[in-house]
Structure 1
């Protein structure tokens, strides 16, 4: 009799668990986007964001001077300056932005899973990425650069044959060298700080990423120099939203056009990039106004 009662109780517990599971809805980190079981989740609409009073924007936390956390624990940089203006114009206050730190390889996933509404993490537009996310108009242009120790300066890609080049996973540098230079050994890291630490430690002969980034790093790190200042095509950097989030995409495009009329991105450059680059970079080679390359 006891055994029979035990079996009945076990059956009831299992049934309750199944019913509870059917009634749950898997969401993103903030609980606003329902997962459809494939790792993707519905994006928040423009109206959803307005009702919430907060916009979640993905930025880097370790890529100075574009997105980084300063000594006081505050997030700063070129992308951050833009993100705050988006929050102000959309929601009435710079404080209405919630920064979500992303890595290069997670930028697409964070959009697809609804963890962020917009990605501003120095996101280069590529055909492959266009299939996964929707890009707004560009606000910067960039090519690849290579930084190495001055004592063993790399000035041509041919010098890297059979040697080790450091790259960050999910970047255009990884794609470019994987596709065009299989003769070069790639040492890959998830985070920029890990990559720079590897270069400082001598675990690689050079490091490649956006030329704007390596130039800034070399200025602040004695003994290193950008020997290859421009490699590959000149690409566009643009905000991205989840594919199909048309209302938010259209709002962003209009915002970029409007900001171009006041030369906003030149002001952004003066505030966040010029203190780093000084006279070593021409803003006209980097800044894009009004979405026009």
Structure 2
């Protein structure tokens, strides 16, 4: 009887060890598989030239920076810049629509070569992607209905603020104003519709964006024009894609010699802002922030 019990104990132990081994193997396989799908090698500058096409991630619903017009064509401040990059590189451009939260992932997975989607430079993001020289400067702004205008950030406590997922607005309010209730959306079009529907008391994103939106939507005002630090907007490439990064930086410096970004502003932003904004307050030439 003792022999039988000892035999059964050994069998049980072997089964436990075998199960643990399978679990570890499965976990390792899953981990490796996940890693393989999340990271892909970026294309070199030469590979992009040989293909004849550069893939650039832009917004499709953030007017006047990146949006699709009534004819299905990409337009906006970022797009105007992207078109020039492709032209000077001697290739065609393929636009890939991104939302705020997917910008990093689209670079790490090599779905795009460059992100030009109002991408604010932050220390956290710089750990995941490589930023080129800036071409714009911004701060956060808050837009709300004119008849219930939010002009003081403390007035947002206990209220619902609409933000985009993966944005600097989301990060800023979570860190500095935890008592503000955040209603988050993937797409800017969804976020603004929520404000129009009254699902939130206000909306926050870059001040350049809320100003443009308020000018085109009567009954809404930017009560808080500048919140937090002044940040910069820059192109981004996959981490370690130094060759493409250096080319973009050289291009930005060269474009500064012809005041390209002021031209870009005049073509895409001035018709929207009118006298409500000044190009010198927003535009960065040659990557040099005043």
TM bracket, shorter-chain basis: 0.7 to 0.9
Number of paired residues? Answer: 256
1:37 positional shift: 1.3
Other structure's SS at 1:291 match = coil
Q: 1:165 maps to which residue?
A: 161
Other structure's SS at 2:266 match = helix
- Could you give the per-residue CA deviations for residues 156-176 of structure 1, whole angstroms, max 9, x where no partner exists? 011111010000000000000
Counterparts in 2 of 1:129-208, with a 5 A limit? 129-208=125-204
Q: 2:280 maps to which residue?
A: 284
Structure 1 residue corresponding to 2:256, chosen from 257, 260, 269:
260
Does residue 74 (structure 1) correspond to residue 73 (structure 2)? The answer is: yes
1:71 positional shift: 1.0
RMSD, matched Cα: 0.9
Q: 1:111 maps to which residue?
A: 107
Q: 2:11 maps to which residue?
A: none
Cα distance between partner residues in 2 of 1:135 and 1:161: 34
1:133 positional shift: 0.2
- Could you give the per-residue CA deviations for residues 231-278 of structure 1, whole angstroms, max 9, x where no partner exists? 000001000000000000000000000000000000000000000000
Cα distance between partner residues in 1 of 2:145 and 2:246: 45
Contact 2:130–2:237 (8 Å) recurs in 1: yes
Other structure's SS at 2:192 match = helix
Q: Based on CA coordinates, which of the two structures has the bigger radius of gyration?
A: 2
Cα distance between partner residues in 1 of 2:227 and 2:154: 13
Q: 2:36 maps to which residue?
A: 37
Q: 2:24 maps to which residue?
A: none
Cα distance between partner residues in 2 of 1:185 and 1:252: 39
Q: Which runs of 5+ in 1 are unaligned?
A: 1-34
Higher helix share: 2
Q: Which runs of 5+ in 2 are unaligned?
A: 1-33
Cα distance between partner residues in 2 of 1:82 and 1:99: 12
Does residue 274 (structure 1) correspond to residue 270 (structure 2)? The answer is: yes
Q: What is the TM-score with the length of structure 1 in the denominator? A: 0.86
1:63 positional shift: 0.1
- Could you give the per-residue CA deviations for residues 27-56 of structure 1, whole angstroms, max 9, x where no partner exists? xxxxxxxx9615110000001001101000
Cα distance between partner residues in 1 of 2:164 and 2:35: 30
1:215 positional shift: 0.2
1:182 positional shift: 0.4
Cα distance between partner residues in 2 of 1:73 and 1:39: 30
Q: 1:91 maps to which residue?
A: 90
